[in-house]
A and B are shown apart, each in its own frame.
Chain A
């Protein structure tokens, strides 16, 4: 079992999100911040586009040889004194992690930010085993206090405003002076730093994700700005990495290529503050670092994506650029998507992982504007893959009857061009005549989904096909 999805209720979720004033205010930060920063930093590096090609090619090569790179990586981890645990499912991954924590007699388990740990719903399992999981990334910490899921893969609390964080801190940090000033974001940060510093020092086990696993050296890599991932892994006796199997890259040189596009695409930084390469447990003579190093490798449906039209999705390096640039994400935020991965990448990945029957709405929540693909650092053809899902949904008869019959009607005409031209011409003329006074319609039969929210403009001039003919196919 994975975290319980509300993806089947995407339409309701989206409707609620659009009415949520706090959320809409917070989402304006996404629209303003990420896009400009990425554009500016990409413009500063002439080789950026070529590096995107390079990153794509490295991931493609690795995926085509994934079994061999996994073997090479596993050997290196073992050689350096680490342990590899293989998990077919979320349940197996949770079990492996809980077992390691139990064996260590752990009480407090600190965590760096990891989307895989969200995917396997790890915190609930750690709690059920009688231990306390503590999220240490500031955003993750905030949403843990609120018992929420992340709404963005790199900015988990992007749906919140500072006043909401303040009231959560006052609710939970009851040992602190109730009259303290928390009106500035920096005061919230300082308080979280103090509270979490104690947790870091008390933790028995630290769990991080991995942005990459390197076959050449058996290394796991994390990329953070706060330094919480590092304090999570160097202070406790045990460091557990939880990673899905497509995180593999061949060499240190390869990972350097991808790192050049990761932060630039994600936060618009040239490089994130902390990029940390971890290999095995502490060495003889070391005065700090973990005594045990474990990696739990999760499949959870990914190996079945290889060799299919969804293999390209496994290139994803989780930068978040697709959602940062997505008009649908901008409008409804991440929670509406109803499962771990939001935005365009979630719309493609979620149906693979939890089934198109549950997540079928997500690939439909796209205008196919193509911005996601145009900014993806590994050039994943996201709109094309959403289209694949729509086809599968249709073929498996999961599409609603009204849509199916509408499509059937459209197909009847589309297959008969003369009839199509005649009918569309007639319809257009009729609409133009009925709408001749106001120039728009406030309501239309069968088009409530549109006219409930905005006017429908009355047609002017000829049909598209007439205009196309008149302009000689656009070449005039």
Chain B
């Protein structure tokens, strides 16, 4: 008997599974198909300005920083300004995201390169698939548009998120992802990012920038 068969046999024996399996199979099939929502906290059910305000507050509480801009055209300027304010070089790495590509980067003095990170980039920008207000979480899906390495290797991560993509709760974002990729399908990686990298492993003291970015800057586009 293979290891697989023996493990399944052991699980079934312990659970006392007998011949009458149809109701169990039906219950499992239905749960996976319907993916019922559980309890969604009230704070995850806001809309409009209250939703964006909560997103902003929660993001700040995770020690991320955030700029709100009106319109995608304003993003390059806002990022150039953020880099100046933070005393950082005017050099960015990004993927092939069309929304980012359509922004007027040439009107700034920013030097832009494209593709994944090999670890030598100081600053990168990705476009989020969504934001979640209940915890100020950014959700970024992998692919050539927004390479996963850009979320982790650079010291400074900048993430652009459309206000219309901000949702109250995680479940709302799963719903959108199911609509985009099909139920039961996922991109290689879905990253939830809630603030900059940190560690408490030395004497329980909170230190930023353990392995991932020491700073996460959000540009929220209205």
Residue ranges of A at the interface with B (Cβ–Cβ < 8 Å) = 26, 29-30, 32-34, 45-47, 50-51, 54, 58, 61, 64-72, 76, 80, 86-88, 92, 136-139, 142, 155-158, 160-162, 165, 185-186, 188-190, 192-193, 196-197, 200-201, 215-219, 225-228, 230-231, 234-235, 245, 250-254, 256-257, 259-260, 267, 269-283, 285-289, 297, 299, 303-308
Cβ–Cβ < 8 Å partners of A279 in chain B: 186-189
Q: Do the beta carbons of B188 and A289 come within 8 Å of each other?
A: yes
Within 8 A of A (CB), among B45-65: 58, 61-62
Q: Do the beta carbons of B62 and A273 come within 8 Å of each other?
A: yes
Q: A197-B119, A253-B37, A307-B15 are in contact. Are A230 and B151 (CB under 8 A)?
A: yes
Closest 4 A/B residue pairs (Cβ) = A227-B212, A226-B210, A139-B201, A306-B14
Q: B-side binding surface: helix, strand, loop or mixed?
A: loop
Q: Do the beta carbons of B39 and A257 come within 8 Å of each other?
A: yes
Minimum CB–CB distance from A297 to chain B (whole Å) comes to 8
- Let me know if B198 is at the binding interface, CB within 8 A: yes
CA A149 to CA B66, docked complex, whole Å: 40
Cβ–Cβ < 8 Å partners of A161 in chain B: 203
Q: How many A-B residue pairs have CB under 8 A?
A: 266
The chain B residue sitting closest to A55, CB to CB, is B38
Cβ–Cβ < 8 Å partners of B151 in chain A: 230
- Encoded as 1 (CB less than 8 Å from any A CB) or 0, chain B from 132 to 161 comes to 001101000011100111011100000000
Q: A228-B211, A230-B212, A276-B191 are in contact. Are A260 and B41 (CB under 8 A)?
A: yes
- Let me know if B107 is at the binding interface, CB within 8 A: no
Q: Do the beta carbons of B204 and A289 come within 8 Å of each other?
A: no
Stretch at the interface among B2-10, B67-75, B76-84, B98-106: B2-10
Q: A253-B35, A303-B14 are in contact. Are A287 and B201 (CB under 8 A)?
A: no
Q: Do the beta carbons of A254 and B38 come within 8 Å of each other?
A: yes
Q: Do the beta carbons of B190 and A276 come within 8 Å of each other?
A: yes
Q: A217-B184, A288-B147, A307-B15 are in contact. Are A225 and B199 (CB under 8 A)?
A: yes
Minimum CB–CB distance from A371 to chain B (whole Å) comes to 19
Q: Report which of B12, B35, B153 forms a contact with A231, defined as CB distance below 8 A.
A: B153
Q: Report which of A92, A189, A276 forms a contact with B199, defined as CB distance below 8 A.
A: A189
Q: Do the beta carbons of A155 and B201 come within 8 Å of each other?
A: yes
CA A86 to CA B42, docked complex, whole Å: 41
Q: Do the beta carbons of B35 and A138 come within 8 Å of each other?
A: no
- Encoded as 1 (CB less than 8 Å from any A CB) or 0, chain B from 110 to 140 comes to 0000011111000000000000001101000
Minimum CB–CB distance from A419 to chain B (whole Å) comes to 45
Cβ–Cβ < 8 Å partners of B115 in chain A: 287
**Which of B118, B196, B198 has most chain A Cβ within 10 Å?**
B198
